[in-house]
Structure 1
């Protein structure tokens, strides 16, 4: 086929661009592209040869479970990413069985995403815009030694019916909105009025944040204050895309008068969780181990203590097999983690930066 094109024996659509053995400007532009397509096809065939045929049935089952459909030529690449993830998961869990890790991982809806794609799509806490929380520290407490209040060994606001069911932000970096609504829902739940609030209300109407491109829980609370309320999920349902603000002032589900940051220490957060309720926090969720977390107490020594990129909700704390943990609600649906939750290591020197940005609303 290459020989036919070079010698001018081309289809009619190309004949007007070639005279004799002289290749026109158009042909010089198109030939490398054509050659690239041929080479690409060869690479696809080579990639197909590298796929593990014994995983065909499992791959088809995974695609069906998560409703995956790919454009022509894309499936091989996604299958290779998925197989790589499967290999990582199997290796990690073998190491877990040998006592090398404190948590397990498993395949989930992110199996066909590279870690870079996963972070770009799912983690929407805008760190470089994060407000300086030391300016508004709860009760002026910013050191573990300053808190002497006796705390219970564990607390779980899910069991106390102050936490709504796990939600799913979809392919939208709106975690900041889910973290903010979760904290406010907790305050409503404490009053016996648990209502699912509208993240879409914040995605569309919070002008300081950036919709599906990230934001801050503090900005979200400011937006609720300025608009004198927020709608419920029922009134303003989630669609995972930023659109024109459609806030209903006649359908306000909750209001707040202020918001406040928590001091950057383990006991400060524990004190806040016990006495205030669920707390909106930011963490480093960028690691592959977090992407595929399943069960156990999550501790990754490579998790950053400084750079946070994902907003979640601390809804309690406790101890599992002698290991202290924060109970954290995520917004990636029930198919991620432990039914949408993760137990993050507590008392491990600010593991994953969980103490860097902690905030809650005041009703």
Structure 2
């Protein structure tokens, strides 16, 4: 919360309190508590004064849309974060109109979260565990042995664009809620894609993984590889209908008699954008991890996403690559997220492709083998 007074300056009433000119001698022992209450009240009033009253109706509508209710004394600080987000969005979109950006941003359900809170709550891919994993994984993918140069796609004979949604291999966008379970949604998404390729598209249970995969950490993050290892050991995974999502980790209630899908193993792709393109086109939707930490990602709306500050080394969020294409001369990856329809382009984001591994999209790529 921003303060009204800076550089050590305090209002006259506070200076009088400090000098003892207002508080009787007999009550000065209670002075620190009393002063804290008074200063706190002054700061709340000061913060209220900094709010834009022209946004009152919009704020109320936003709270209603996203069912926001705040504890006493919290709403002012949340409103200030929200107004800051609106200011950022307005500035970015103004620059977009000037040709400085390739995508737009917009207010969404994360409008009252600081970027730090957003990252802690929503991004649950644990990269350090992926790097330190001793799990044996078959590195060999199922792709043909062609030249693996990112810039030479002629020999691959890839289609110019590809979209598994149009081929019926992608379930509707889901919502992980206030839980860092993106890893589970990414893992099920890739397996749902394999089912969809065989025209048996079924929505699988992320909650099953959240509760039962103890190598991962529930709402505190995990790995798609761990999820697949659990499926192999358990003999399969339940459907969303059998094991509904609750957005919190609980007791494992896996039903071995209600298995919706099984896998034999899982594989990874070599770190290459051309490899990912071929994987998407030849194998199916691929579970990938990206850096989703930027404010620009938090409020992404439409267009081809590119933020030069997005890390190509440190990834923190698991998503699903379901296709690729070109828009206004910009190549992109079509990415399915798990933050509901109100985020991004109806739950999806187009991320610029072949831009030096933008946001680390090739750092961790896996898919299940049925």
Structure 2 length normalisation: TM-score?
Answer: 0.89
Measure the CA separation in 2 of the matches of 1:105 and 1:128.
30
Quick check: 1:136 aligned with 2:139? yes
Cα deviation, residue 136, structure 1: 1.4
Separation of aligned partners in 1, 2:295 and 2:41: 30
Q: 1:45 to 1:316 in 2, by over 3 A?
A: same
Q: CA deviation at 1:40?
A: 1.5
1:155 maps to what in 2? 162
Structure 1 contact 143–264 (Cα < 8 Å) conserved: no
Size of the alignment, in residue pairs? 345
| 1:38 aligned onto 2:45 | no
Alignment root-mean-square deviation, CA: 2.1
Contact 1:266 / 1:347 at 8 angstroms: preserved in 2?
A: yes
On the 8 A contact 2:82/2:112 being kept in 1, the answer is yes
TM-score (norm: length of structure 1): 0.91
Structure 2 gaps of 5+ residues are 1-12
Partner of 1:330: 337
Distance, in Å, in 1 between the alignment partners of 2:264 and 2:33 is: 60
Change (3 A) 1:6 1:179: farther
Q: For the Cα contact (< 8 Å) 1:143–1:263, is it kept in 2?
A: no
- 1:77 match: 77
Cα drift, residue 304 of structure 1: 0.2
Higher alpha-carbon deviation: 145-154 or 208-217: 145-154
Maintained 8 Å contact 1:173/1:211:
yes
Q: Is the 8 A contact 2:192 2:201 kept in 1?
A: yes
Instruction: Give, in whole Å, the separation in 2 of the partners of 1:135 and 1:180.
Output: 17
Matched residue, 2:86: 86
Residues in 1 aligned to 2:181 and 2:33: alpha-carbon distance in whole angstroms: 39
Q: Which residue of 1 aligns with 2:350?
A: 343
Structure 2 distance, partners of 1:155, 1:166, is: 18
Corresponding position: 1:294 with 2:297: no
Q: How much has 1:86 moved relative to structure 2?
A: 0.1
Structure 1 residue corresponding to 2:222, chosen from 215, 228, 232 = 215
Any idea what SS the aligned residue of 2:76 has? helix
Verify: 1:259 aligned to 2:246, yes or no: no
Is contact 2:137-2:267 (8 Å) kept? Answer: no
Partner of 2:251: 244
Question: Is residue 138–residue 266 contact of structure 2 (8 Å, CA) maintained in 1?
Answer: no
Q: 1:41 to 1:183 in 2, by over 3 A?
A: same
